[in-house]
Amino acid sequence: MAASPRFEYFLYRKERPIEEGTWNWDAPFPGKNPPAPGEPLSNDPPDVRIGDYFTGARAFLEKNRFNLLTQSASKLAGFPIAFNQIRTIRIRLQKHGEFYHPARVDVMGDGFDVAFVLNIALSDRGAEWIEREYRLLKMLTRRYPSSYLPEVFGIGSHAFYGKKVRMFLGEWMEGFHEFHHVPDRSGKGTRIEVWGEEGPPFLLSSFQEQELYRQISHILTFYYDIPSFKQIYPWHHAAGDFVVRMDGGDLYVKLISVRGYAPMFRKAPSFKSAKDARSFILHAILLFFLDLSIRIRIDRIGGVGKMIWADETSLQGLVNGFFAGLTMKPPVNGFPAPIYDCFNAYLASCRKEDLDELLMGIANRHLPRKEESELILPRLKWHSKTLYAAIRQHL
CA 41, CA 389: separation in Å to the nearest integer? 51
Q: Reduce the secondary structure of 330-383 to three states and give it as a string.
A: CCCCCCCCCHHHHHHHHHHCCCHHHHHHHHHHHHHHHCCCHHHHHHHHHHHHHH
CA 218, CA 222: separation in Å to the nearest integer? 6
Q: How many CB atoms lie within 10 A of CB 39?
A: 9
pLDDT (0 to 100) of residue 47: 72
Question: Nearest-CA neighbor of 343 among 317, 325, 357?
Answer: 325
- The residue extents of the domains of the chain are 6-171, 179-394
**pTM, two decimal places:** 0.90
Rounded to the nearest 10 degrees, the angle between the axes of helix 313-327 and helix 206-222 is: 40
Flag residues of the chain having pLDDT under 70. 1-3, 31-46, 161, 366-368
Q: Does residue 193 contact residue 208 with C-beta atoms inside 8 Å?
A: no
pLDDT (0 to 100) of residue 42: 41
Q: Does residue 153 contact residue 70 with C-beta atoms inside 8 Å?
A: no
pLDDT (0 to 100) of residue 214: 98
Q: How many CB atoms lie within 10 A of CB 113?
A: 13
pLDDT (0 to 100) of residue 45: 35
Max distance between CA atoms of the chain, in angstroms, equals 75
CA 329, CA 11: separation in Å to the nearest integer? 44
pLDDT (0 to 100) of residue 31: 58
CA 48, CA 2: separation in Å to the nearest integer? 32
pLDDT (0 to 100) of residue 366: 60
CA 18, CA 51: separation in Å to the nearest integer? 9
- Work out the burial of residue 324: count CB atoms within 10 Å of its CB; fewer than 13 is exposed, 13-18 middle, 19 or more buried: middle
The alpha helices in 164-205, defined as continuous H runs, are none
Q: Is 66 left (phi over 0), alpha (psi -120 to 50) or beta?
A: left
